[in-house]
Chains A and B, each alone.
Chain A
Amino acid sequence: MSRRARLVLFGLGAVGLAVLWVVATGGLPPVGTDVHPYRDAAVAAAAAHATANVVASINFDQRAVDTLGEETILLASVVAVTTLLRPADDERVEPPDPPPAVLPATRVAGWALLPVTLLVGADVVLHGHLTPGGGFQGGVVLATALHLLYLAGSFPALQWVRPTRWAPLVEPAGSGLFVVTGLVGLAAGAGFAANILPTGVLGAPLSSGTVLVLNVVAGIGVGASIVTLLGQFLRQEVVIGPEAAS
């Protein structure tokens, strides 16, 4: 595509975006005032289900179907990456090189931060209904925690702790359990992904009903997704080599 054609395309897109933005935001209440119709409705709905983190209530209770869509997008992208990055006909799997020399300070930091990061990730997932965080953020933190082992220079340890056999199975299991939780609501006659569990006391560790369940399920699914995703990229980098160059 020539530079001119790209500029024309950009111009059309920019004008379209500007028009849609004005149309979409024209009817919004003004910024910086105390009038927030959506906040009032969302906070009341969150309080009714004893969910201290209103954002979690919106994501996993009031608009759980949207979140299921996001989870599915992640699943689809991981499937696409796995398909694209599988060893091609002209590539072969090599035993990984001996790990490169790593500064002792880096090694110590990697091993020391591993349990801390795992704890933070679990905390972000399990308290997602009380404080900022949730299954998505916590899942990514958990997955990146395992990859500190790679930074610490121990690819074999990473291979061992990150069983690539089950990670691709856990990830659809997470999304599947999300759907199952939604279907249970449907079966109970309350509608898909309705909050049918007892919601408990606002602010208690075991409160908010299905929000906590869906956070944990999403955390498992997202964590396994990221492990699979990074695993595919690392495998390309570390153990798959072009046949001709060997």
Chain B
Amino acid sequence: MIVLLTLALLATGVAGTVVALTADPQRQAVTLSVYGLLLGTVFVLAAAPDVALSQLTVGTALVPLLVLLTVRTVRRRSGGSR
């Protein structure tokens, strides 16, 4: 269990760095989603399924969706495609 937890923590750390280093917000929404999934795994391994469920719904589904919607709206406005 300790080995799994260490692996999951390391993967989460790497994923968090990838999120921070992703420049394009649209791509960042996707990497953020993957990061959220890995963080959820850490919570499951740490015997905290309640927190993992919150993390999955908010961090993996909701926040990336809001970011994507915002990016689309901003692009559409600045592009003046309508």
Contacts and interface: CB of A to CB of B under 8 A. Distances in A.
Q: Which bracket fits the contact residues of B?
A: 20 to 34
Given A55-B50, A245-B82, A236 B62 contact: no
Q: Which bracket fits the contact residues of A?
A: 20 to 34
B48 to A, nearest CB: 8
Main secondary structure of the interface of B (DSSP, over half): helix
Nearest to A133: B53
A144 B77 contact: no
Given A233-B70, A242-B77, A245-B82, A144 B61 contact: yes
B65 interface: yes
B69 A236 contact: yes
Interface of A: 53, 55-56, 124, 132-134, 136-137, 140-141, 144, 147, 226, 229-230, 233-234, 236-237, 241-242, 245-246
16 contacts: A56-B50, A132-B53, A133-B53, A140-B54, A140-B57, A140-B58, A144-B61, A226-B62, A230-B65, A230-B66, A233-B69, A233-B70, A233-B73, A236-B69, A245-B82, A246-B82
